[in-house]
Amino acid sequence: MIRFECDYAEGCHPALLKALTDTNFEQHPGYGEDAHCDRARQLIKEQLEAPHANVHFLVGGTQANATVICAALRPHQGAIAAVTGHINVHETGAIEALGHKVLPLPSTDGRISAEQVEAYCAGHWGDATHEHMVQPGMVYISQPTENGTLYTLEQLTALRKVCDKYDLMLYVDGARCGYGLASPKNDVLLPDLARLCDVFYIGGTKVGALFGEAVVIMNEKLNKDFRYFIKRQGGMLAKGRLLGVQFETLMEKGLYQQLGQHAVSLALEIRKTFEECGVSLLYDSPTNQQFPILTKAERDAFAEKYAFSHWETLDDDLAAVRFCTSWFTPEENVRQLIQDIRRICRR
Amino acid sequence: MIRFECDYAEGCHPALLKALTDTNFEQHPGYGEDAHCDRARQLIKEQLEAPHANVHFLVGGTQANATVICAALRPHQGAIAAVTGHINVHETGAIEALGHKVLPLPSTDGRISAEQVEAYCAGHWGDATHEHMVQPGMVYISQPTENGTLYTLEQLTALRKVCDKYDLMLYVDGARCGYGLASPKNDVLLPDLARLCDVFYIGGTKVGALFGEAVVIMNEKLNKDFRYFIKRQGGMLAKGRLLGVQFETLMEKGLYQQLGQHAVSLALEIRKTFEECGVSLLYDSPTNQQFPILTKAERDAFAEKYAFSHWETLDDDLAAVRFCTSWFTPEENVRQLIQDIRRICRR
Amino acid sequence: MIRFECDYAEGCHPALLKALTDTNFEQHPGYGEDAHCDRARQLIKEQLEAPHANVHFLVGGTQANATVICAALRPHQGAIAAVTGHINVHETGAIEALGHKVLPLPSTDGRISAEQVEAYCAGHWGDATHEHMVQPGMVYISQPTENGTLYTLEQLTALRKVCDKYDLMLYVDGARCGYGLASPKNDVLLPDLARLCDVFYIGGTKVGALFGEAVVIMNEKLNKDFRYFIKRQGGMLAKGRLLGVQFETLMEKGLYQQLGQHAVSLALEIRKTFEECGVSLLYDSPTNQQFPILTKAERDAFAEKYAFSHWETLDDDLAAVRFCTSWFTPEENVRQLIQDIRRICRR
Amino acid sequence: MIRFECDYAEGCHPALLKALTDTNFEQHPGYGEDAHCDRARQLIKEQLEAPHANVHFLVGGTQANATVICAALRPHQGAIAAVTGHINVHETGAIEALGHKVLPLPSTDGRISAEQVEAYCAGHWGDATHEHMVQPGMVYISQPTENGTLYTLEQLTALRKVCDKYDLMLYVDGARCGYGLASPKNDVLLPDLARLCDVFYIGGTKVGALFGEAVVIMNEKLNKDFRYFIKRQGGMLAKGRLLGVQFETLMEKGLYQQLGQHAVSLALEIRKTFEECGVSLLYDSPTNQQFPILTKAERDAFAEKYAFSHWETLDDDLAAVRFCTSWFTPEENVRQLIQDIRRICRR
């Protein structure tokens, strides 16, 4: 079975494992206050061109989202998100567990627009009894989105503007950040994220690490006492060095960028092949996730040899599925898949 | 500097790192549903002699405590604990974050007794307005305690009995479980924990793993939907295999037991030397943490060469400190320490 | 200004105030354990034909909803509701404050169907990673709905059936219960609610009381320790007698029914007049709230003499507004309004 | 049976009931935005000599405490309180329900000192791993305390000073405020509370109202969006006028003060009689609650004729009980009690 069903099926890039092994017997203080975390922070800040950024390392994405949102909002505030946003669908209510409502906006491809946010906030503040409703306090977006799409710099700048108008935090979930940065269609660079967001995270788990997300806080108010929030959420890793060592390795010598490019270039070859065969894609994704719409016969044919995910049933015959590449995906596997697309999807 | 200040200053036992390296390119489903987790579960259940136990792997101790307590209690219930219990002091309110009060009982050495629990519950239920107070729903203890002491089998059995009487869950925090099992004074074996507790955890982080705690649920009612609670708390590790591989290695060929014995036998040598030199110990600890009461001059003398923790100021001159051994502690370091105790603590 | 903008603009029916005055110097135990609460409970149970019902009196509707939902659900569960449901829109996240997600279903008139609930639950349980999503644990509906519409006995029975299938609690918010019972279109009687629901409440605040809602719990499991939940939520009224005296008065001699009928018969006259004048109504409401769709000119004309609420903007000219009658509404006011409808809405 | 067991056994002072009756058919906007609430706010601010105070009316004390504390603290912060404080003992974890730990300090008579708070905060901030512990964010005290004792102006000023030093909110629970103000030993006037506290409340429920507490917020930062918090907690009374009318009546013509003086002068006569008879009092209370230490025989003798509360068992024979006067207590009842004390407690 050749696997395209997710981007976290293997361990980590060998360079990270080697670094963990090389440093295994070093003795370090716990909880992220060691020299490796410090160096990883420094490397990240250099890439962000943001010497005043605050960087905290957490183990996973749901943990990062819950910790950030709890620290950012007052209790009566909620986070505006696409109805498809990870926090609204796939975190078992981790945000609500901390007392906050997710305020969902409709979305066709995983993105929400500044206009939507504007309309929502205008509606809230224009209502005479607005205190009977959850107050919008944040805009949460994912870059890339859960559907593989990307915000443009123009769109992100517009979101920043509406956030300023309504005193909202802007938070970017970067679980697949590396696959966004590597896309030829991307025009939002790390320094742009640092400039436009109050907070965002650079994902490691899905981009070559064993685990780990680097939360970057640009808003000093939010950073105050943030380590208390990490601990309160159960996210303060005793041997924090493990996160430091991994991000140190990812961030030096351009490894993080290389891993992203590897995955995205292969995904775009897959996409191109589907398109050449007349297969429609559910979303216009320029990143490592591709969502071809296949007939049942086609899906059955692929399933004999490939693992991939069901995404959405469209009618009795058609359904969108997800093929996902990763930092690990062997080129040879993609070559085979391309041949099989050409064979199976003759239309 | 020779370090005795905690039991999590290094990475992990080399056998675990080797296993992680050997399995790195295997492809596995995420979230703890892989073959390594399955095998680790099997090995643990064999040691517990409890084929019906449910085992869940979590990254850290605060996460384990919060997840278990949230799943075990109804919202109006609290967890009885020693005032010194980890959940009452050192988790930044992670239990309260989920809506539960910790109900502290006084303790001189980290333990609480069945009599104390009996008196507390009798007081609660005997009060005509008991619904104005948090209802006790659980007894939380640590074995070994935060002070290195151990419950005897008789004490644990008595706690079980009072839990049965008042319909309380019995939960044992085993962050240092391996150092308790290895103590010559210990008479509570793993099968006893499985027989007497509703839930407990076997700690990996402090006993040779990079991270990881194995939560063992014996009470089926508590196990229902437990994986939802893990995810909601942000504790569902994407690459759950990492926990499986580590516990698989720890649990086979007696490695976990060996690591515990190494640390405890060295700690008891340190203790014996302090006692021979006439130094009192704050707690009667038969495990890997020792708490000698030293004068300022003695502390200063040790501090030139050793790292250890301040524990409690007793008067202008005297203070208790903590020397902590671990699975890693080199014997040679203990030899030196013993010589220095004899030199410094001549009384 | 003649007021039709809500059903809680006045104090209470004079009979309740007289009863409060007559009993003012009686001495009673606090917290709802007095003779008046007992008698009110008895009267309610007689009307429900449910001797084993458990009745608890709370001050307000949001408090009732939050307390019931917190007691009914485990932490990882959410409440399915119409997207327009009160708990989803107008309670400032009181449900989320206690850790629960509201799971909104689309609705055109305030109602949701058994088919929708079935599809939602089938989707949840059919998903291989369902533990990454909030588990549906309850169906919350309002009767009448926030839009004045009513569930039929058939619809309610179908909801009960799907709740049984998926182990969901069925909870009916009866803030305007009296106006539903009084509708000529209603076929859901109090004994039907008692038979089909796990829990519901009979609203007093909007139907003639100073304040107060009678929560009726039919499911014994939910009733266990419910008084702890009331206190925890800050809803345990010290002088609980005030709720007992009011519900005692409402429930004897058919006063509650009379107040409902007064309001509904006047509302239906208003509705009929709008319809006769060719004015469409946004919802097909057979209860005390009516939602005519008016032009701007018409709205301006009414606004000179009447207070009513804006409901929804439909286009540049048209908007739906709400005219609301109550237990208090003087008949004379409705006579005038009817004349003015005929004058203003000539089409 | 002559009742001295609590101060909320009756309805309300007749003047309040008359005012409610007189205003019953007035039509008002809901949720505390009516003319009576406005006037009551004005009267309170005059008595506080604090034109910039913000006054919010809530139904009960637990609700007030939970709402204030939730609005005042960030999630990782807790409220320092006497171990006997109402929030620590008798609110079924309402504070924890909102995610906050109560940080209890020992107390012999219900009070805590500035020195204790200083030591606690110095300990927290002096600990290198303070982020592993709940951060103190508020000092909560009751005036009078749950034991009837009073803070002096000097003590309160010292608490304010330590709050300033450690950036803590100072919150005074005034459930029995009227009985403190009326004490001959009291030197903390309403303008002092306004000057020294960030927030406090003036209790109505126990001092002559049907229900109601006036929360006074002096700290603008805390007042921001406070009405959202009221609604979120389920404390936004639909017919807010009921609170306005009652506080308007209490606050004009010195009624609140008169009711307090009535109760306190009778309580002090009871105290004096116990003392003359050689009976010790558990606390040195100058307010409406008195705690004589009685033998079993004495308690039995009183119980034939009087209702009072058990407070604390001291030994096999002795126990402290509570006799409580109120705004309502008939003088004649106290005359009889005094005679009976002289008869029963001859020592």
Q: Do C96 and A92 touch (CB under 8 A)?
A: no
Task: Give the three-state DSSP class for B211.
Answer: coil
Residues A236, A286, single domain; the answer is no
Q: What is the pTM of this model?
A: 0.97
| Predicted pLDDT at C1 | 87
Residue B34 CA to residue C303 CA, distance in Å, equals 67
| Predicted pLDDT at B172 | 98
DSSP B102-155: EEEE--SSS---HHHHHHHHHHHHHSTTGGGSPEEEEEEEESS-TTS----HHH
The model's confidence at residue C290, banded by pLDDT at 50, 70 and 90, is very high
The phi, psi pair for A334, rounded to 5°, reads -70, -40
The phi, psi pair for D324, rounded to 5°, reads -125, 125
Tell me: the pLDDT tens digits for D303-337?
Answer: 999 999 999 999 999 999 999 999 999 999 999 99
Among B20, B24, B66, beta carbon nearest to A234: B66
Nearest residue in chain B measured CA to CA from D129: B90
Mean pLDDT estimate for chain C = 97
| CA separation, residue B229 to residues A75, B67, B95, B211, D7 (Å) | 22, 6, 14, 20, 44
D347 pLDDT above the threshold of 90: no
| Predicted pLDDT at A337 | 98
**Identity of the residue numbered D207:** V
Among B12, B210, B228, beta carbon nearest to A92: B228
A contacts of D70 (beta carbons < 8 Å): 75
Residues C245, C266, single domain; the answer is no
Interface C-D: count of C-beta contacts within 8 A: 138
The phi, psi pair for A215, rounded to 5°, reads -85, 125
Domains identified in chain C, total number: 2
| Predicted pLDDT at B1 | 87
| CA separation, residue C1 to residues B292, C7, C264, D34, D177 (Å) | 82, 16, 21, 16, 41
Residues A294, A245, single domain; the answer is no
Token pair of C244, please?
A: 């007992």
B38 pLDDT above the threshold of 90: yes
Residue B208 CA to residue B175 CA, distance in Å, equals 12
Token pair of B225, please?
A: 């939907």
Question: Contact, B61 vs B205, CB < 8 A?
Answer: yes
Q: Do D97 and B99 touch (CB under 8 A)?
A: yes
At D226, which helix (H) or strand (E)?
A: helix D226-232
The mean pLDDT of D208-212, rounded to a whole number, is 98
Interface ipTM > 0.90: yes
Among B83, B92, B95, B146, most D C-beta atoms within 10 A, so best to mutate, is B92
Task: Give the three-state DSSP class for A219.
Answer: coil
| Predicted pLDDT at A30 | 95
Residue D62 CA to residue C221 CA, distance in Å, equals 26
Question: Contact, A246 vs A83, CB < 8 A?
Answer: no
A contacts of D225 (beta carbons < 8 Å): 74, 76, 131, 135
C contacts of D10 (beta carbons < 8 Å): 24-27
Nearest residue in chain C measured CA to CA from D65: C234
CATH number at residue A80: 3.40.640.10
**Quick one: which of A315, A335, A328 has its CA closest to A210?**
A328
Residue D317: Cβ within 10 Å count: 12
| Predicted pLDDT at C250 | 98
H-state helical runs in A132-215 = 153-166, 177-181, 190-196
The model's confidence at residue B195, banded by pLDDT at 50, 70 and 90, is very high
Residues D139, D280, single domain; the answer is no
Question: Contact, B290 vs B319, CB < 8 A?
Answer: no
Residue B87 CA to residue C217 CA, distance in Å, equals 35
Based on the number of CB atoms within 10 Å of its own CB, is C109 exposed (0-12), middle (13-18) or buried (19 or more)? middle
**Quick one: which of C253, C320, C240 has its CA closest to C57?**
C240
Q: Do A242 and B210 touch (CB under 8 A)?
A: yes
Residue C206 CA to residue C213 CA, distance in Å, equals 9
Among C91, C96, C102, beta carbon nearest to A99: C96
| Predicted pLDDT at B346 | 81
Q: Do A11 and B3 touch (CB under 8 A)?
A: no
Q: Indicate if the alpha-carbon torsion angle A162, A164, A169, A174 is positive or negative.
A: positive
Nearest residue in chain D measured CA to CA from C22: D11
Residues C58, C101, single domain; the answer is yes
Q: What letter would DSSP give residue D125? A: H
Token pair of A236, please?
A: 């303060």
Residues A246, A263, single domain; the answer is no
C contacts of D327 (beta carbons < 8 Å): none
Residue B306 CA to residue B300 CA, distance in Å, equals 10
Residue C233 CA to residue C63 CA, distance in Å, equals 7
Residues C245, C270, single domain; the answer is no
% of chain A surpassing 70 pLDDT: 100
Among A93, A99, A132, beta carbon nearest to C97: A99
Chain A: which residues have CB within 8 Å of chain D? 31, 70-71, 74-76, 98-99, 129, 131-132, 135, 225, 227-232, 236
Give the minimum alpha-carbon distance from D14 to chain C in angstroms, rounded to a whole number.
8
Based on the number of CB atoms within 10 Å of its own CB, is D339 exposed (0-12), middle (13-18) or buried (19 or more)? exposed
Chain B: which residues have CB within 8 Å of chain D? 75-76, 78, 89-93, 96-102, 129, 131-134
Residue D270 CA to residue B140 CA, distance in Å, equals 46
**Identity of the residue numbered C293:** I
Q: Do C131 and B227 touch (CB under 8 A)?
A: yes
Give the minimum alpha-carbon distance from B236 to chain C in angstroms, rounded to a whole number.
9
Among A95, A232, A233, A237, most D C-beta atoms within 10 A, so best to mutate, is A232
Among A10, A14, A60, beta carbon nearest to B234: A60
Residues D215, D179, single domain; the answer is yes
Token pair of B125, please?
A: 């239920």
Among D99, D132, D133, beta carbon nearest to B97: D99
Tell me: the pLDDT tens digits for C48-69?
Answer: 999 999 999 999 999 999 999 9
The mean pLDDT of D132-145, rounded to a whole number, is 98
The vertex-D61 CA angle with D59 and D64, nearest 5°, equals 75
| Predicted pLDDT at D246 | 98
The mean pLDDT of D288-302, rounded to a whole number, is 98
Task: Give the three-state DSSP class for D201.
Answer: strand
Cis peptide bond upstream of D286, omega within 30: no
Subunits with 3+ Cβ pairs within 8 Å of C are A, B, D
Among C71, C225, C231, beta carbon nearest to B132: C231
Tell me: the pLDDT tens digits for D181-190?
Answer: 999 999 999 9
Residues D267, D314, single domain; the answer is yes
Q: Do C93 and A101 touch (CB under 8 A)?
A: yes
Among D101, D131, D221, D222, most A C-beta atoms within 10 A, so best to mutate, is D131
| Predicted pLDDT at B32 | 97
Tell me: the pLDDT tens digits for C231-240?
Answer: 999 999 999 9
Residue A313 CA to residue C215 CA, distance in Å, equals 42
Q: Do C75 and B71 touch (CB under 8 A)?
A: yes
Tell me: the pLDDT tens digits for D93-137?
Answer: 999 999 999 999 999 999 999 999 999 999 999 999 999 999 999
Residue C268 CA to residue C286 CA, distance in Å, equals 7
Residue C307: Cβ within 10 Å count: 17
Task: Give the three-state DSSP class for C140.
Answer: strand
The mean pLDDT of B116-144, rounded to a whole number, is 97
The upper half-sphere exposure of residue D332, i.e. CA atoms within 13 Å in the direction of its Cβ, equals 1
Q: Which residues contact C123 (CB under 8 A, 6 or more apart)?
A: none
The end-to-end CA distance of chain D, in Å, is 25
Residues C162, C215, single domain; the answer is yes
D236 pLDDT above the threshold of 80: yes
Tell me: the pLDDT tens digits for B41-53?
Answer: 999 999 999 999 9
Residues D102, D231, single domain; the answer is yes
Give the minimum alpha-carbon distance from A147 to chain C in angstroms, rounded to a whole number.
17
Tell me: the pLDDT tens digits for B253-276?
Answer: 999 999 999 999 999 999 999 999
| Predicted pLDDT at A207 | 98
Task: Give the three-state DSSP class for C305.
Answer: coil
Q: Do B89 and D129 touch (CB under 8 A)?
A: no
A contacts of D129 (beta carbons < 8 Å): 31
Low-confidence ranges of chain A (pLDDT < 70): none
Q: Do A237 and B26 touch (CB under 8 A)?
A: no
Subunits with 3+ Cβ pairs within 8 Å of A are B, C, D
Q: Indicate if the alpha-carbon torsion angle D217, D223, D225, D229 is positive or negative.
A: negative
**Quick one: which of C165, C162, C170 has its CA closest to C219?**
C170
D contacts of B80 (beta carbons < 8 Å): none
Residues C104, C211, single domain; the answer is yes
| Among D250, D272, D304, residue at a domain's last position | D250
| Among A230, A250, A270, residue at a domain's last position | A250
| Among D210, D229, D250, residue at a domain's last position | D250
**Quick one: which of B77, B72, A233, A77 has its CA closest to C97?**
A77
Residues linked to residue A80 through DSSP beta bridges, in sequence order: A103, A139
Q: Do D134 and B101 touch (CB under 8 A)?
A: no
Among A75, A97, A102, beta carbon nearest to C75: A97
Give the minimum alpha-carbon distance from C132 to chain B in angstroms, rounded to a whole number.
6
The model's confidence at residue B99, banded by pLDDT at 50, 70 and 90, is very high
B122 pLDDT above the threshold of 80: yes
Among B76, B129, B231, beta carbon nearest to C132: B231
* Domain of B28, in residue numbers: 14-250
H-state helical runs in chain A = 14-22, 35-48, 61-72, 86-89, 94-97, 114-126, 153-166, 177-181, 190-196, 220-223, 226-232, 241-251, 255-276, 296-303, 331-344
CATH number at residue A335: 3.90.1150.10
D contacts of C233 (beta carbons < 8 Å): 94, 97, 233-234
